Amino acid sequence: MTDKEFHEEDFKDIPYDEITYREEGRKGNVIKHDSAKIEGKVKLTFEHDELDDVKVILKKDENDNVKEIKFVCSCGQTKTVILDYDE
């Protein structure tokens, strides 16, 4: 899929199930069903900075609070900021 085929509006404001898994000593790419659980719902928002050619992915909870910000460079490197509102 190319960037032209990807439509950001297709993902906007649609809640998705957030699945997490924890398995000590896990090797490979297989996640066993008993280690995966649904944590809640998330919404994804995609933005693109044309000047720096960086894509920004915002992961929000059901109340539109930003939980995670991921920066994706055109070279493939990523940096992630996780926000914790528990305090």
**Which pLDDT score, from 0 to 100, does residue 3 have?**
53
**Which pLDDT score, from 0 to 100, does residue 26 have?**
64
Domain boundaries, the chain: 8-15+42-82
Q: Which two tokens mark 4?
A: 């032209």
User: Other CB atoms closer than 10 Å to residue 73's CB: what's the count?
Assistant: 12
**Which pLDDT score, from 0 to 100, does residue 80 have?**
94
Q: Summarize pLDDT for 56-70 with one digit per residue, the tens.
A: 989 988 888 898 999
User: Other CB atoms closer than 10 Å to residue 7's CB: what's the count?
Assistant: 9
Q: Summarize pLDDT for 1-56 with one digit per residue, the tens.
A: 455 555 656 666 678 888 887 766 667 777 777 778 888 888 888 888 888 888 99
**Which pLDDT score, from 0 to 100, does residue 13 have?**
67
Mean pLDDT computed over 66-78: 91
Q: What global pTM score does this model have?
A: 0.64
Which residue(s) pair with 17 in the sheet?
A: 41
